[in-house]
Amino acid sequence: MMSRTVHAFSEQEALIEALSQNIVDNLQKAIEEKGKASLIVSGGSTPKPLFETLRKAALEWDKVWVGLCDERWIDVSKEESNEHFVKKYLLQEEAAKAHFVGMYCADTDIYTAQKRCSKKMKEMLYPFDVLILGMGTDAHTASLFPENIKLEEAFDLKNPNFCISIEPKSAPYIRMSLTLHAILSAKHIYIHFEGKEKIAVFEEAITGEDIYAMPIRSVLNQEIKEIEVFYR
Averaged confidence pLDDT in the chain = 96
Please report the pLDDT score of residue 87 as a whole number.
98
From the list 34, 113, 36, the residue with the least C-alpha distance to 70 is 113
Please report the pLDDT score of residue 2 as a whole number.
60
Overall average pLDDT of the 19-42 stretch: 98
Is residue 98 within 8 Å of 212, Cβ to Cβ? no
| Model confidence band, residue 215 (pLDDT cutoffs 50, 70, 90) | very high
SS3 of residue 66 by DSSP: strand
- CB count within 10 Å of CB 148 equals 21
Please report the pLDDT score of residue 124 as a whole number.
98
Q: What percent of the chain has pLDDT over 90?
A: 94
Is residue 191 within 8 Å of 4, Cβ to Cβ? no
Instruction: Tell me the whole-structure pTM to 2 decimals.
Output: 0.97
Is residue 68 within 8 Å of 83, Cβ to Cβ? yes
Domains within the chain, CATH numbers bracketed: 4-56+64-231 (3.40.50.1360)
Report phi then psi at 102, rounded to 5.
Answer: -90, 170
Write out pLDDT tens, residues 51-97.
Answer: 999 999 999 999 999 999 999 999 999 999 999 999 999 999 999 99
- Report in angstroms the alpha-carbon separations of 187 from 30, 74, 146, 156, 207: 10, 30, 26, 19, 25
